[in-house]
Structure 1
Amino acid sequence: MYKVIIIAIVLFNIAGCSGKTKEELYAKGVKQINDGNPNGAIVFLKNALEKDQNYLDARYQLAKAYVAAVKYEQAEKEFQKVLRQNPSRVEIMLDLARIYNSSKKPDLAIDAMGKYLKSHQQSSEALEIMGIGYALKNRLDEAENYLLQALKADPRRSGAKLDLAGIYIACGREKDARQRLDEIIKVDPKSSRAYYMLAGLENSVGNKDRALEIYQTILKINKFDTSAIYKSGLIYIDKGELDKAEKLAAHLLQNYPNRADGNRLKGLVCYYKKNYTEAIAALQNSLRTQPNMEAYYFLGLSLYNRGEFENALSQFRIILDYNPSFIQARLLTGVILLKQGRIDDSISEIGKILQLDDRHALAHNILGSAYMAKGMSEEGMKEFSRTTELDPKIIDAHLKKGIFHLSKGRTKEAETDLRTAVQVAPEILNTRLILSSYYLRQNDFTKALSAISEGLGGTKSDAVLYNTMASIKFTERKPDDGLKLLQKAKQTDPNLYATYFNLATYFAAVGEYEKALNEYRTVLQHDPANVKALMCTAALFDMKGRENESLAFYKKAKETKAPVAFLALANFHLKKNENGNALTVLNEAIKTIPRNTAALELKGRIYLQEKKYKDAIKVFDDIEAISPDLGFRLKIDTCVVMKDFSKAVAQARRFITIKPNSAYGYMVLASVYERQNNVDHALDEVKNGLRGDGKNVQAILMLGNLYAKKGDNNSAMKAFEEAVSKKPDFAPAYFAQGALLDAAGNKREAIKKYREALEKSEDFVPALNNLAYLYADGYGSKQDAVRLAVTAFKLDSGNPAIMDTLGYVLLKNGRNAEALKLLERAARLLPADANVRNHLLAAFKANGDQSKTKQQQTLH
């Protein structure tokens, strides 16, 4: 009956519209807006416009009604029509920008307000909207700057004060946040929004009882504010007082049955009581009344705990469609996909988390498990090592319910915990591999081998263990034993590709290229689109100087559409001075993979090399739209290349003004001064940046490099040590220490630092390169030097310095003909490098080419 009445009222209103003038319809529409009935207003205002499409006031009010009804797309269209019909009404830009912010389109809001502020520089409203836009983009320094400007223009803007307080809370500036909120409450003691923010702040710092008191204050202001009751319930849940939370849920359900808060709170209480069936029912009831991300999340968790994985996935996907950066929802999506055997999908989801937060230990752990399930033992071990570095208490905590805890810095206890983990769950491969890895770091090869061999059980998973055992044997310099173990791995599981890659690496290092190629061919027979096999094959042909075959495989790799394959092919062309071909490849990459900053950057740098500065800046503008900091730095680099240093300095200082608490702008400015060989000025600017951003390890590293350039090695080493203390897994800092020791002639200590860098990041090419060079010079095994140099070359085959090192290492191993091919190419790419020329001269002598030797000596 109720629905029939509503329909009748609407029909009555429509029928009554036809006999009224447009002015009467307009007046009724405005009244409906003021009475809080935007949908009713929309009916009257649309009828007014049917009588006169040019009735601008009616169209403007219609747009406002759509905003009130949360129909932002329709509102935007109406505001745009008003602006087209009367361009002088520039205040419409404010309305549009608010819509863009409300519909999570901050870039459009910022663009609109940027144009508006050109003619209305002191508009506090525009400045506030601009600040909100930057806050939505999580660019909090700019957000704060604009909101402060808004308050300077109009100190009474309470909205700007609240938004500013929100930014301070997000930045952890508790004192500043309290000050702003206290100011608002002093002026307006009934500001519910300020009290809510204050309660949230108290809760976040652990003052839960104080937060509960504030929610009671809100209820005194408005006893019908169910949100304050609901949030009080959440605090009781957090305190473990589930009975109190349950009573609040019952109160909400009894007194406000048509609101979602009661069912949502009841669902959460049931979830924490592990009554998942009731939790699911309550949360579904809440969602029928009102969509809510928290309800979707806990519904997904409840379904997950019931083993209803596909239904749980549906809830998490709803969340991620709305908020792609909701890490917990994406983490659980990855876990479920892994449980379902959808390994590639799981890897993709976890990869998205690590793009947002590379220090997320659980994400690394799950990614490691996914790689192991895919048979990629090398990649899996790398992720497990990263997990234990980030959080020593996590080994396989999420997937295997927390098997053991690794104590920080206590070697004996660490070993005990790891061995206990293996004893508690001997069937779990991950813990056994981590225990072995631990022993390897201690150089205890016997225990490392034992930890693995004890896990052999006559199943396919033994292939992974055989690979690890082989790696230990190679490290012990027992290659024959290592090869036998890899052959066992092949027999145990012919589909484990890691075995073929490990064999290929060994064969390439000892110069048996055809055997290495055969291993890659076997992988490609099973998986023709395997990017790693295609690119490794291309790199091997490149090493041998067989460029046509190398090009063919780089092209095949590119056909997989993998971003790294496009870059590898482009770099191959660049080595041959085929800039046009490289640009063609990069344009295809950009078209295939939108927002591909790596491809865009390389394209822009090619234009810089060709002195096509306008083209380069256009590309860097595109990068700035995707990654503002990177685009900004590249445009300043362009100014430096053009020797327009004054413009570069001015642009860098402008960035510093926008982000005064970030070291980034200061670092860019320092790089400009460094290019001018003004090291003292560069040092001063980096120090300025560190005053406001003291934890920025990149800035600390730059400071050390500048001290080293100045010849102040003591200060440089102190800076590098500080970077390590602030970020113990930061491979570049260990490398910088090694390079400093290397340059000072302390080769043995340099080697230790290079090894530490590789422990943190096994694919860190500068450390691989320098370590290979030192080994070749007699500070280590010359055979290991080849392995390291080959690995570096496969990772960065387009780098002529890496090419030179590999050539030099091969020369030192008596592989003269191979060395000569590489060194000739390196010399063509680095004609002014004296070391490369010396290596080439030595190669000519070693190959008995007297004419070329004399020619090279003449060039010297």
Structure 2
Amino acid sequence: MPARNFRFARIVNICVALSLAGIPAISAADSASAARYYEDGLARYKKDDVPGAIIQLKNALQQDNKLLAAHVLLGKALLRSGNPPAAEAAFNEALKLGVSRSEVYPSLGRVWLQLGQPKQIIERLNPDDLPVASRVEVLSIRGIAYAEQGNYPAAARSFETARGLDANSLIPLVSEIPVLLTQAQIDRAKALSEKAITIDPNSADAWNMHASTAHAAMDIKTALERYSKALQLDPQHVDARIARASILLDLKRDAEAAKDLEELKKLVPDEARVAYLRAVIAGRQGRTAEVQASLKKIVEVVDGLPASWLATREQFLMLGGVGHHGLGEFVKARAYLESVINLNSRNLGARKLLASIYLDSKDYASVERTLDPILRSLPNDPQTLYLMGQMRLAQKRYVQASELLDRALKAGGDSAEVRAAIGFTQLGLGEGAAGVKSLELAFARKPGDPKVGLALATQYLSSNQGAKAIPVIDAVAKAEPENLATRNAQGAVHAAAGDLAGARKIYESILAKDPNFAPTVLNFAKLERAEGRTEEARKRLSALLNRTRDDDNAMYEMGQLEQAIGRRAEALRWFEQAFLQRKTNVRAGISLVDAQLASGKTAEAVKTAKELVDANRGNIDALSALSQAQLSAGDRPGLLQSLKELTSLAEYDALLQLRIGRMHLLAGNADGAAWNAQKSLAAAPNNLGAMSLMADAELTRKAWPKAESLAHELQTRYPKSAEGFRIAGDLATARGNAAAAADAYRAALDREPSTIAVQRVVHALLLGKDPGKAQDTINAWLAKHPTDLGARAALAEVHMRTANWKGAREQFEKVLAVRRDDVGILNNLATVLQKLRDPSAMSVAERAWKLAPQDPNVIDTYGWSQAQAGQYDAALRLLRDARLRNPENLETRYHLAWTLGKLGRKAEAREELAPVLKAGSAFEAQEEARALNRELGG
């Protein structure tokens, strides 16, 4: 068995979250049946029996809906069949299940091109870190997307970058030609098409583009010849056949065009362009019924699409509008066209068609769109300005709020309310001192004002000025002595300021007046929990729930109590009840999401978070919870969208911008993280967290000089912090300077000792091929911290690097005695047991796989265990899955090739082995790979 290329960093705990929660159990029989359907579908696909392949792949997924290979191949087959919406769904499902981006991004890009969604491509198809071939294709697709947005300079740069990566690739050439033709750059397009033909004279795509250049130059005869050549090479080339049919229709050679359209109907029965051409030819021949049928076909396809999916698809909305208009169904046409305008106000065709419908219905107000904003009618009304300012303030649109409130002030609205609103706006803009001063002025103008007083007290508490907060809240309570809600707030402020005895007296006086006043009962229970009086707190909450069984806040506090004493299952149950009772209870929803994630119930956490956001639109905390759940679930597209919304809502909240930026980095979006760092620095210049975030973003973008400068600045500005030295270590690691990395990490460890700091030092020493010092470092740490399981796991991995399998086993088993469900430890232990030829290796690998069935390394380990045990069919399914999730993993490719060879599928095996052999010394077990290649007849 080949030596494994071990990664030092253990598999992160997030793998545990990707558990079997919500996944129905699949029996061995179902898995075997699914695998048979898949293999048959694969064979049909390779023989160009696309409809048959789709049927068999769907059969496979009926048996096992988590069969990753089936989702990927189904997407490709659906794309070939001309059904891009269904293909998109298949590819998105594959991404959710963990397929490698390189396996589906090119196909998904083609789907979005067909659907007219260039924005999706630009925002979601990131070419960074993809293998060269995939990067070339994605860059080419992005070039087309930029062009569709009218950004031709960006398109040209994208194509140029793609050509620079592979000068012999056809893809950038055939992708750029249509863009050049739309810009009337026919000579340039012609040159590229000739180059494409030179590179591969047997490429149907090259001939199709060669024909397109002639078509654009109005050389119709040559264009027809070249389209025919493309179809000789590939009779199923849809674009070439549609183009030829269009020319034939223009030449009034309808009989010949009809043959192409009949063939297209077989190839792409749901293609809207084909339906339109069929309508044209039917109209010429006076077959009105067929014209109507074609239009009905278009609207049938569009109307049948899910509303949520259709809502962002401009091209399909437009087709629905045109189709319904042609059928005289103006109400439906109007709805589609209004949606188009909402998506793209510059769609002139939709505007003209929609205006005609409005005109026919005498809806002149909608035609003219002449309604004026309220403030245009009342530009100097202080109350209107104030209310508008309050609305913008609630939306956290602080700049607009500031403008409106300043106008209100100048118009004579110099009241405590306006001053307070200005103070809130200044706080939102990051002007903390100015904001507090405005609140102080407002409170002085209206002493005892509960809204201003509570806000001012809160600001004092947030800046650790509890002594200032207490007299403010006491003044508010004195102004309203009979208001129990105000008195309750007074108690909460006293408690937050550290005056627990004072808070207790206030709560007791409130309950003396009203023993059933729920807000104070809840706060009193919280106080008792803080004092360690858990039984008293439980009795108080239980009594409240006995009186009001539907009190979601009491349920939430009971969950907090149970969680504080370590009863996680009970806490989860209470949080579920609270959120089920009231979906607008943000605290309960967030606590439920956190508890579900901690329990490994990732799918449930995402579902809960989405429900929370739906019930609390615009709520930052709810959206933050969704972001965390999406991060844990590996839903990168959904996470990036949530983070984009969060960034807009956060505005000048420096700490929140940092949280968002860190999640951007975890999602691999360095540009987004840098933007959040800039926003945080704008609110709090030179703050440590933002500078560190910016440095990490520059590291991710491989902007070494910028990262180095920031590391030096952090070391100078914050010499006692580990961050500057940690970043210097990361930079040295990225540059391959292991010795410098170890020195920097040691400096960070000296300043802020921690397990992860030790692991960084050890990692650097291992990179420098000094396992002896790495082991000494870990042993020294463990001598002082013998219960540090993270360090013990690191020691086990050091043993693995030195082939000390018995030592590694001993350390891993010590860790597992405490952390029984640690996926990374189980996976590595399974590998160690394989090395020791211990028969328990498979059962340990299976345990890891059941906990993390979507992790490619775990799947590979389990699949290889199956293969080594001679269970080749089961191994094949697992190893195909692992390969799709991480196609760059050479070890998985070797394992899959070996298994295919054992099944007698030598051609496929050689195909999987090719990149392993090409890697040379980069694959440690190169001799075993060459031996396998000889066995396969290579």
Instruction: Please give the range of the TM-score, normalised by the shorter of the 2 chains.
Output: 0.3 to 0.5
- What TM-score, normalized by structure 1, do the two folds share? 0.39
- What TM-score, normalized by structure 2, do the two folds share? 0.37
Asked which structure has the greater RCO (Cα within 8 Å, sep 6+), the reply is 2
